[in-house]
């Protein structure tokens, strides 16, 4: 997302001589300011012959070209105004010039307040002509990649202001390796210096751009189902059924870590270490991926995802799972866990959790039946004002100013 450089109104006052063009006779029309997380999006009816200016400042009033008032010059609708403080009201006003003219009339002042994302959701068009279950999503800073059953892969360039966020358009791969059977279910995807997709059969695919894919290896031919992959500190860790844990530094040679435990459903690299979760409340932590410590999760519910946040409210690990299970720790090393259960009969089952918002202070989890819950302290959880549809959601991540979730039958949803 490219935000225009802000300049000071006093440095660009429109007074001067040698003006030849007539100023616009009317103020910019149709001005709509939509608040987001740490930003707003400004839309208006654009005349291509005019140059538009947006002036803004905290508070309830603002005037064009006042000394010290921030502005965006040569704004194009829709225009994102970023770098704003959440929960702080801002006043916005617009005018326009024609070539070298003076400024025309100003639009009415609009006051809006940026706020954290997560409370309002919308659903995108289901991915694929015959939508399949989507099981994983990854982001490299500019591009999103989604993977799922039957070899499903989609990639798209991040676009906050798209008519159908979070991307400009979802594209299918331009090249898939011959070694990869197209019917293979992909269970997860992550990003290191490249996108890495994991097949349920342990196959590993890599891609620099999410469109051209290369086969790397199969972790253990004929081995257990593999469910999740993570990267951190130069090490890849993949986990699967039967407590399977494998590590690799090059995605070619994999080493199995002895672990006769429960099925493992997720692995994440958090706060400098790995966290794996699984059936029967399985919760393991590791500094390197090679040796693991079994933690007491205080629950027997299956655990399916983990997230971490370090903010002014303290350090928090959050793990989510079936039957509304939420397990947290405030220890820096991921020990001393406590469990709570979301209310409801039955309590919603959660499949994935991420941290987002300003400084990563908001936890947001998704799950069965389109469940979304979020928390700013890891303890008190709320449901969104506008939830997504009722389709099961399997994974969620945070991109700049927006949450993106995927799920069954090609479901994708976003909150900004």
pLDDT tens per residue, range 109-118:
999 999 999 9
The answer to whether residue 15 scores a pLDDT higher than 60 is: no
Tokens 């609009």 sit on residue = 110
Q: What is the mean pLDDT of residues 261-282?
A: 97
Which of 239, 311, 231 is closest to 272 using CA atoms? 231
What token pair was written down for 204?
């590993």
pLDDT value at position 19? 53
pLDDT value at position 11? 44
Neighbours of 37 (CB within 10 A): 24
pLDDT value at position 370? 97
Q: Which domains, ranges and CATH numbers included, belong to the chain?
A: 7-112 (2.60.40.10), 122-415 (2.130.10.10)
Which of 32, 121, 118 is closest to 78 using CA atoms? 32
The DSSP element (H or E) to which 207 belongs, if any, is strand 203-207
Lowest mean pLDDT among 22-36, 188-202, 217-231, 353-367: 353-367
pLDDT value at position 314? 77
Q: What is the mean pLDDT of residues 135-158?
A: 98
Q: What is the mean pLDDT of residues 329-347?
A: 92
Question: How far is the C-alpha of 273 from the C-alpha of 255, rounded, in Å?
Answer: 18
pLDDT cut 70: percent of the chain above it: 95
pLDDT value at position 196? 98
Neighbours of 252 (CB within 10 A): 9
The answer to whether residue 17 scores a pLDDT higher than 80 is: no
Average pLDDT, the chain: 93
Tokens 């994302």 sit on residue = 117
Give Rg (Cα) of the chain.
24
The answer to whether residue 220 scores a pLDDT higher than 90 is: yes
Cβ(396)–Cβ(403) under 8 Å? Answer: yes
Name the pLDDT band for 365 (thresholds 50, 70, 90): very high
Which of 2, 104, 1, 112 is closest to 57 using CA atoms? 112
pLDDT value at position 110? 98
Name the pLDDT band for 8 (thresholds 50, 70, 90): very low
Which of 83, 70, 77, 84 is closest to 114 using CA atoms? 84
Positive or negative, the CA dihedral 8, 10, 11, 15 is positive
Burial tier of 30 (Cβ tally within 10 Å: 0-12, 13-18, 19+): exposed
CA torsion angle 252 258 259 265 (round to 10):
0
Q: What is the pTM of this model?
A: 0.93
Contacts of 247 (CB under 8 A, 6+ apart): 235, 236, 237, 238, 254, 255, 257, 289, 290
pLDDT value at position 2? 43
pLDDT value at position 50? 98
Cβ(339)–Cβ(326) under 8 Å? Answer: yes
pLDDT cut 90: percent of the chain above it: 88
Q: What is the mean pLDDT of residues 273-300?
A: 97
The answer to whether residue 6 scores a pLDDT higher than 80 is: no
Q: Write the CA distances from 356 to 289, 303, 308, 402, 404, integer angstroms.
A: 25, 20, 10, 8, 11
Which of 282, 231, 287 is closest to 259 using CA atoms? 282
pLDDT value at position 360? 77
The answer to whether residue 300 scores a pLDDT higher than 60 is: yes
Question: How far is the C-alpha of 328 from the C-alpha of 277, rounded, in Å?
Answer: 13
Name the pLDDT band for 16 (thresholds 50, 70, 90): very low
Burial tier of 87 (Cβ tally within 10 Å: 0-12, 13-18, 19+): exposed
pLDDT value at position 312? 64
pLDDT value at position 310? 84
The answer to whether residue 332 scores a pLDDT higher than 50 is: yes
Q: What is the mean pLDDT of residues 235-244?
A: 98
pLDDT value at position 359? 72
Contacts of 129 (CB under 8 A, 6+ apart): none
């Amino acid at each position: 997302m490219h935000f225009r450089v802000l300049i000071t109104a006093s440095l660009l006052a429109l007074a001067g001589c040698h003006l030849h063009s007539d100023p616009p006779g009317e103020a910019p029309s149709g001005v709509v300011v939509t608040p987001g997380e740490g930003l707003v999006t400004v839309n208006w009816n654009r005349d291509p012959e005019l140059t538009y200016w947006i002036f803004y400042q905290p508070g309830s009033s603002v005037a064009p070209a006042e000394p010290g008032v921030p502005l965006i010059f040569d704004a194009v609708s829709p225009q994102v105004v970023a770098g704003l403080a959440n929960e702080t009201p801002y006043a916005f006003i617009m005018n326009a010039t024609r070539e070298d003219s003076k400024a025309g009339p100003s639009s009415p002042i609009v006051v809006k307040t940026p706020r954290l994302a997560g409370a309002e959701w919308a659903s995108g068009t289901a991915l694929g002509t015959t939508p399949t279950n989507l099981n994983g999503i990854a982001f490299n800073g500019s591009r999103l990649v989604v993977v799922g059953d039957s070899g499903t892969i989609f990639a798209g360039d991040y676009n906050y202001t798209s008519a159908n966020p979070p991307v400009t358009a979802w594209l299918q791969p331009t090249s898939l390796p011959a070694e990869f059977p197209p019917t293979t279910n992909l269970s997860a995807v992550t990003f290191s210096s490249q996108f890495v997709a994991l097949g349920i059969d342990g196959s590993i695919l890599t891609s620099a751009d999410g469109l051209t894919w290369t086969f790397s290896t199969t972790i253990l031919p004929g081995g257990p189902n593999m469910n999740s992959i993570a990267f951190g500190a130069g090490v890849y860790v993949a986990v699967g059924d039967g407590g399977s844990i494998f590590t690799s530094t090059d995605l070619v040679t994999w080493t199995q870590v002895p672990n006769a435990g429960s099925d493992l459903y997720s692995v994440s690299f958090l706060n400098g270490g790995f966290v794996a979760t699984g059936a029967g409340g399985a919760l393991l932590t590791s500094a390197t991926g090679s040796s693991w410590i079994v933690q007491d999760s205080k629950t027997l519910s299956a655990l399916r995802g983990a997230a971490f946040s370090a903010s002014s409210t303290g350090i928090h690990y959050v793990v989510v799972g079936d039957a509304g299970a939420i397990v947290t720790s405030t220890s820096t090393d991921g020990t001393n866990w406590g469990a709570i259960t979301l209310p409801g009969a039955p309590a919603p089952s959660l499949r994935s959790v991420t941290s987002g918002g300003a400084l990563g202070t908001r936890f947001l989890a998704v799950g069965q039946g389109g469940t979304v819950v979020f928390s700013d302290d890891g303890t008190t959880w709320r449901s969104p004002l506008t939830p997504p549809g009722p389709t099961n959601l399997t994974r969620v991540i945070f991109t700049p100013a927006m949450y993106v979730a995927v799920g069954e039958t090609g479901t994708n949803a976003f909150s900004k």
